[in-house]
Structure 1
Amino acid sequence: MSQTITVEGMSCEHCEQTVEDALEDVAGVESVDVDRDAEQATVEGDAETADLVSAVNDAGYDATA
């Protein structure tokens, strides 16, 4: 299953990597594609949306589903 969440506050490649790392640590995530220009992260797997949003928020960015 693919899910796309909105991620605000990314301004550089390091930001993208931080968000990607945070999402990859969520149980059920198989792969992650982060696009700072589009302010989105697309996640493949069966992770709960709330867990994805929480992981990004905990990493210091503003995420919404």
Structure 2
Amino acid sequence: MEKTLNVQGMTCGHCKQAVEGALKNLAGVSAAEVNLEAGKVAVTFDDSKVNVDAMKEAIEEQGYDVEA
């Protein structure tokens, strides 16, 4: 399954690494790709193992805001 999340506050390569790393650490997430210019993160995941709320929480723990 794939979902694109809108994430506010990502401005640099470190932001990209922090968000991608936090998502990839979740069980069930197979890929996460940040588009800094668009403020979006494309996440590929197994929805039987992880849900969008868990992904939002992982991103917010890194200090970024996720829009619905």
Amino acid at match of 1:16: K
TM-score scaled by length of structure 1 = 0.92
Amino acid at match of 2:61: D
TM-score scaled by length of structure 2 = 0.89
Separation in structure 1 between the aligned mates of residue 32 and residue 57 of structure 2, nearest angstrom: 15
Number of residues of Structure 1 aligned to a counterpart in Structure 2: 65
Structure 2 gaps, min length 5? none
State the superposition RMSD in angstroms: 0.9
Larger radius of gyration: 2
Runs of 4+ in 1 over 3 A off after TM superposition: none
1:64 to 56, 63, 67: 67
Does 2:11 correspond to 1:11?
A: yes
Percent identity, please.
Answer: 38
Q: Which position in structure 2 is the counterpart of 1:31?
A: 31
